[in-house]
Structure 1
Amino acid sequence: MDVSKHYWIDVAVQTPAHSQIGGLLSYRCAFEVQPGHLVRVPLGQRELLGVVWAISDSAPAGMPEKAVRDAAGVLEGLAPLDSAWRQLVQFSAQYYQRSLGEVALSALPPQLRDLSSEQLARRLKKQNTERTVHTQTGPALSEEQQAVLAQMTSAPGPFLLFGSTGSGKTEVYLQAVERMLQADPQAQALLMVPEINLTPQLEERVQARFGAEAVVSMHSGMTPAQRLKGWLAAHAGHARIVLGTRMAIFASMPHLKLIVVDEEHDPSYKQQEGARYSARDLAVYRGKLQNAQVLLASATPSLESWHHSRPAAEGGRYLRLHMPSRIGTGLLPKVRRVDMNHQAKKAVLSAPLVAALQERVERGEQCMLLLNRRGYAPVLHCADCGWKSECKHCSAFRVFHKIDRTLRCHHCGMTERVPRACPACGNADIAPIGRGTEQLEEHLGELLAHVKRPDGTPIRIARIDADTTRLKGALESQLAQVHSGEVDILVGTQMIAKGHDFRRITLVAAINPDTALFSSDFRAPERLFALLMQAAGRAGRDARQSASSEMWVQTFHPTHPLFEALKKHDYPAFAASELAERTAADLPPISHQALLRADARSQDVAQGLLNAARETLEAQLSADPATAELVMQVSLYPAVPMSMQRVADVERAQMLLESPHRMALQKVLWHLHGVLHQLRSAPEHKGVIRWLVDVDPQAI
């Protein structure tokens, strides 16, 4: 490039989501750059980091002289972000309806934005450029594991690995990584897990297998300095294996050859703030872009992935791989349903379950109780006047936490001391209604106070939920106590049901799973079945104890088809019945959805903007012959309040868009943005704080 003259560069910068600066900004540039380079550019009074997207010899047509601004400099020493990475970002921004700069810059480590070229050079100097992988030999593979790896060698994928809990899916990933690294001295692998609390145990296993130098982690629990170090190692190709949560899908990995998405059904892969992307779906897209193999894996696949892995003759796009057996002689736990209609009224734990817990503890075995509600009780209530512990700022109740005697809103965080008497009528007798993990832990302690462990010491009960794991390192130390056998009964929310390899647990019990059976959210049964199957998978992972392992389900609806399928560990039967219902109702994965949400100071204003947008959009599309067909292909429903209508004094409303055609839905969303910007300045919509689009929403 001849640097004696000026060039014009189009740069992606992070701009506010609702500014109309959504695309690329043009700058004059007097120094040499390539697409993908990071540059500093002025915007308003600030200087920002941006990504060069395109370069041209002449100024953009119609650009006034006074609007011309010069790029300030390039971040030297850093190879440009390659075209595959830029294409991934561009697709994500378009599909999930966000600005290009927002997606591009949020995919980079935050510390990168503040570094000078000199500071970056110092960090790059400290980098370990060692690429060698020291592979330890793994355990002998089962026939099923060998068959799956053989299929992966002979077909391009994407693959859906449907394997029972304890069938050895992790070993399949590690073997696939090992084969890929041996075949190509530069190749990189991306291993994704749904949540941070699953990363440490997999991290240990991967580092033990391939050597710590070859592996970096990426998740939101890391410090900015750690994130930058890991990102730089992946970008340079020094890190051969990246292990991370959903954010890792945007890691710059120029030699990516394999992507594994573990527990692919997990809702945590869908981002819930900013660009609401699905890391699982982007993994499949990125695999195509970089010619990398993609392996999605789960004991309870999402119905979307299950549907995509039907036979190719029926329109399937993934190859389904099956591992139905546990490793060794391990058996899946026997499922027992307890009909709570036949138990004492208001009983929290049924008599047979209490007896079974006692028996297991006395034998030196561990048990796990799952209750997906933290705190002591969901609400405090006055029987005299009907007062309940509502949050002043949200349409939710504040949860009673007995340990620190507080009422805490789990939505806006508002916390107050528990009142001594009813704030409305002065009655001193206010009581908790319902129960959370805190109360269950206390109740168990009372019921089993007389029970002794085999060595004669008292029973030990532990609780793991978002309250007990707030402090750094708390979760790791609590899990270590469970693994070492110090804990007899573990009580917790869904965070204890996922992925953990507890070798001593022989009994798992779900305490109150019925609420999801009759939810207005059509995905609730799918999530419940996955949670219960995953929880059951924590029992009997040691083959010596698997024959006596059990999953107990306390329910008022024991004959519900969901529990019938669970009893047989029959995910395919559950998936078939759910898909039949979804097909009859034209719900995803048969159709495609998007939600438009508006936040405002009043519900009327929020709904007013959405309904005005719907009417204006339909009128505009119908008036133009080129877009008139879209009105027939996409259904726009009237605005309604969200199920959690008010959070932190902000009223929230939503409008559902639905279509059997993904492209038609995307086109309508593109037109919708223009309509929203056009309407926003109208006086009747002044109270609108923000709007956002959620494509392929996980909850409605």
Structure 2
Amino acid sequence: GTRSRGDAGGSRTEVRFASAIPTISGTTAALADLLRQPASSVQPEGLSFVPSPKPPLTAGQASALAAIDAARERGAGEVVVVDGVTGSGKTEVYLQAIEAALAAGRTACVLVPEISLTPQTVGRFRGRFGDTVAVMHSRMGAGERYDQWDFIRSGAARVVVGARSALFTPLANVGLIVIDEEHEGSYKQDSAPRYHARDVAVWMARRAGAAVVLGSATPSIEALHACAKDPRWHHVELPERANGRPLPAVQVVDMAREFGGGSRSMFSRALSRALAEELAAGRKAVLLLNQRGFAKFLLCRECGFVPECPSCSTSLTFHERGNFLICHHCGYRVTAPPTCPECGSPYLRKFGAGTQRVEADLRVLLDATPGVGPDVPIVRMDADTTGGKGAHQRLLEEFAAADAAVLLGTQMIAKGLDFEDVTLVGVINADTMLRLPDYRAAERTFALVEQVAGRAGRAELPGRVLVQTYEADAAPIRAAAAYDRALFLRDELPKRRMLRYPPYVRMANVLVWGKDEEAVRTSAAALYEGLAAQVRDFGGEGWDVLPATPCVLAKLRGTYRWHLVVKCPLDGDLSGVLLPYFRARKPEREVNVAVDVDPDDLL
């Protein structure tokens, strides 16, 4: 990347580029990245692992394994997209592909998207490969990270399992890089050095003569597009569950009709009945809510006032435990007012439902349900309950140990968790992500609903899924409920093509921020003029610069934020066109600039 600073006493203008070939030398930058991350959760040494037997493969699994082995043996940096429904046995394919790589004298790196996956994932890999498995993730303490780093550097580790930054460990002679749940947004790092783990993995594999495996039940549109266009990318499907069980039936519940019919509960009548039936029979349920906190915000019903963060352009979230309002972007916290600070009205009401509110209402519902009652535990899994060391593992063990129980959580519960006795999945509000002002909102909604649906009915007992939504006709929700990706793509791809979004173009998001609102606005406008001229002179046909606008979060942590987007054809050299402009540009004292090439979102 490049940086230009103003004088030592002033603010700086900083420009960083990230592209498919990252500017990372050796492992020093990666180690610095690891050491910057917060500490605490699962201790690799503290987990116990039971050796896992090698089950026979289905025909689909055997075909996928053969494709991976062939790609690795060719040593040309090829990519295999393992497109398998939830429960199709993708992890077993990874395990046997790694076993083949180790037998050939190579090593393997496995990336998982969330720390919540690590206890189960590490258990599977250590069960197969024992003490040759190293673990790297952001919640480990500095001492643990150093020990694992040293273990890898010594050559004793043959398999590394971890989050995004595990890609940069000093693992020698890599033959296979596996990225599980490839569609996940957490593989893109949004702070410098900005990179996408998928792009870095492909680049590394081509240098090392290795193969890359991208696994998902809902592969990203970019990955599917690459399989159709690039002969080095291969697409293999696992259309059925490994145990032969059917995918669970999905029922879409129109909450607008529920409200019109007089129901005021956040739990539809259908979901309430299903919970009563499954829990009374001693089975388990998973409920997904894509929010945190007790309620989303406070609103005065008399004057419409909503308490907002003084540093960020976002409403404050109300937390019942402690009766405080908090900003989840900058951490600002204040006691919740008893009356409206604007007009003095006592009608300051809680709107929106976070996991604490759902937990409280769910407790009331279950306690009043015959055959269920207060003995059925509710395990809440969100950012607030999983912050402590070992919290993920403890909560998952608590849920696993119970007979009948409800696991209530945010997005993290939709990803890779495998409990055989879960027979019901409920999505409280499928619209949360769909309403985000971002071009990937529909794709992320489709993936989230289909992924969480896959948590149900993974063993002998049949599963069922209820999806509550105020937009029952939305294509992503209808398509996910029908497990019909073709329907989703028929709706989504023409929109992407018409509006010129990936996978049909490349983009760079130029972020401009600073404490002085007018300076930021002026700088963003000047950047637009300068970049438009640069693109006219050097970009060619198909290049475009969109005018500067405030970001969705226009004020964050006390800084004002604007951005502008550059679009170019797929073969366009974004860095080559933009870098000379920024190198020649005179830095400004009051404004920061960052360039994110191939951004994962535009929020």
Same fold (TM over 0.5): yes
Equivalent pair of 1:261/1:295 in contact (CA under 8 Å): yes
- Please tell me whether Structure 1 or Structure 2 has the larger radius of gyration of its CA atoms: 1
Would you say 1:108 and 2:31 are equivalent positions?
A: yes
Aligned to 1:154: 70
Residue of structure 2 aligned with 1:499, choices 416, 437, 443: 416
Would you say 1:327 and 2:242 are equivalent positions?
A: yes
Residue of structure 1 aligned with 2:61, choices 142, 145, 148: 145
Aligned to 2:295: 377
Identity of aligned residues (%): 36
Aligned to 2:477: 563
Would you say 1:540 and 2:457 are equivalent positions?
A: yes
1:634/1:239 CA distance change after superposition, 3 Å? same
Find the residue that maps to 1:578 and give its secondary structure. Answer: helix
Cα distance, 1:235 vs structure 2: 2.8
Would you say 1:198 and 2:117 are equivalent positions?
A: yes
Equivalent pair of 1:109/1:231 in contact (CA under 8 Å): no
Aligned to 2:19: 95
Aligned to 1:578: 492
Write out aligned runs for 1:367-516 (5 A): 367-451=285-369, 458-485=375-402, 488-516=405-433
Equivalent pair of 1:591/1:659 in contact (CA under 8 Å): yes
Residue of structure 1 aligned with 2:524, choices 610, 614, 617: 610
Cα distance, 1:336 vs structure 2: 0.4
1:632/1:111 CA distance change after superposition, 3 Å? closer
1:692/1:493 CA distance change after superposition, 3 Å? same
Aligned to 2:45: none
CA distance in 2, matches of 1:327, 1:630: 49
1:150/1:561 CA distance change after superposition, 3 Å? same
CA distance in 2, matches of 1:517, 1:600: 30
Structure 2 unmatched runs, 5+: 9-15, 37-49
Tell me the number of residue pairs that the alignment of Structure 1 and Structure 2 aligns: 574
Query: Which stretch of the first structure deviates more once superposed, 326-335 or 161-170?
Result: 326-335
Cα distance, 1:237 vs structure 2: 2.3
Write out aligned runs for 1:235-314 (5 A): 235-310=153-228, 314=229
Find the residue that maps to 1:107 and give its secondary structure. Answer: helix
Aligned to 2:446: 529
Structure 2: which amino acid aligns with 1:608? Answer: T
Cα distance, 1:453 vs structure 2: 5.4
1:634-689 Cα deviation digits (max 9, x unpaired): 2112211000010121101101011014443222221232144x1x24xxxx421x
Cα distance, 1:440 vs structure 2: 1.0
1:429/1:110 CA distance change after superposition, 3 Å? closer
1:449/1:556 CA distance change after superposition, 3 Å? same
1:141/1:315 CA distance change after superposition, 3 Å? closer
Aligned to 2:590: 687
CA distance in 1, matches of 2:485, 2:327: 36
CA distance in 2, matches of 1:256, 1:19: 38
Aligned to 2:549: 640
CA distance in 2, matches of 1:618, 1:664: 15
1:220/1:674 CA distance change after superposition, 3 Å? same
CA distance in 2, matches of 1:222, 1:564: 40
Aligned to 1:25: none
Aligned to 1:131: none
Equivalent pair of 2:18/2:193 in contact (CA under 8 Å): no
Structure 1 unmatched runs, 5+: 1-14, 22-43, 45-91, 114-133, 623-627
Would you say 1:656 and 2:562 are equivalent positions?
A: no
Query: Which stretch of the first structure deviates more once superposed, 301-310 or 457-466?
Result: 457-466
Cα distance, 1:111 vs structure 2: 9.7
1:342/1:363 CA distance change after superposition, 3 Å? same
CA distance in 2, matches of 1:460, 1:249: 38
Cα distance, 1:238 vs structure 2: 1.9
Equivalent pair of 2:84/2:90 in contact (CA under 8 Å): yes
1:108-139 Cα deviation digits (max 9, x unpaired): 257999xxxxxxxxxxxxxxxxxxxx986411
Find the residue that maps to 2:573 and give its secondary structure. Answer: helix
Aligned to 2:39: none
Query: Which stretch of the first structure deviates more once superposed, 165-174 or 467-476?
Result: 467-476
CA distance in 2, matches of 1:161, 1:18: 43
1:674/1:93 CA distance change after superposition, 3 Å? closer
Structure 1: which amino acid aligns with 2:446? Answer: F
CA distance in 1, matches of 2:477, 2:17: 40
Would you say 1:696 and 2:598 are equivalent positions?
A: yes
1:112/1:698 CA distance change after superposition, 3 Å? closer
Structure 2: which amino acid aligns with 1:697? Answer: P
CA distance in 1, matches of 2:407, 2:35: 42
Q: TM-score, normalised by structure 2?
A: 0.89
Structure 1: which amino acid aligns with 2:186? Answer: S
Aligned to 2:135: 217
Cα distance, 1:488 vs structure 2: 1.4
Equivalent pair of 2:27/2:170 in contact (CA under 8 Å): no
1:18/1:234 CA distance change after superposition, 3 Å? farther
Cα distance, 1:294 vs structure 2: 0.8
1:205/1:19 CA distance change after superposition, 3 Å? same
Equivalent pair of 1:189/1:242 in contact (CA under 8 Å): yes
CA distance in 2, matches of 1:588, 1:599: 25
Cα distance, 1:515 vs structure 2: 4.0
1:195-222 Cα deviation digits (max 9, x unpaired): 112112111111111112x111111111
CA distance in 2, matches of 1:637, 1:445: 49
Aligned to 1:31: none
CA distance in 1, matches of 2:225, 2:490: 9
Aligned to 1:163: 84
Equivalent pair of 1:461/1:490 in contact (CA under 8 Å): yes
- Let me know the Cα RMSD of the aligned residues: 2.6
1:617-649 Cα deviation digits (max 9, x unpaired): 444666xxxxx2415442112211000010121
Find the residue that maps to 2:487 and give its secondary structure. Answer: helix
Structure 1: which amino acid aligns with 2:472? Answer: P
1:493-515 Cα deviation digits (max 9, x unpaired): 11111100021111111111124
CA distance in 1, matches of 2:303, 2:572: 54
1:445/1:670 CA distance change after superposition, 3 Å? same
1:591/1:524 CA distance change after superposition, 3 Å? same
Structure 2: which amino acid aligns with 1:552? Answer: L
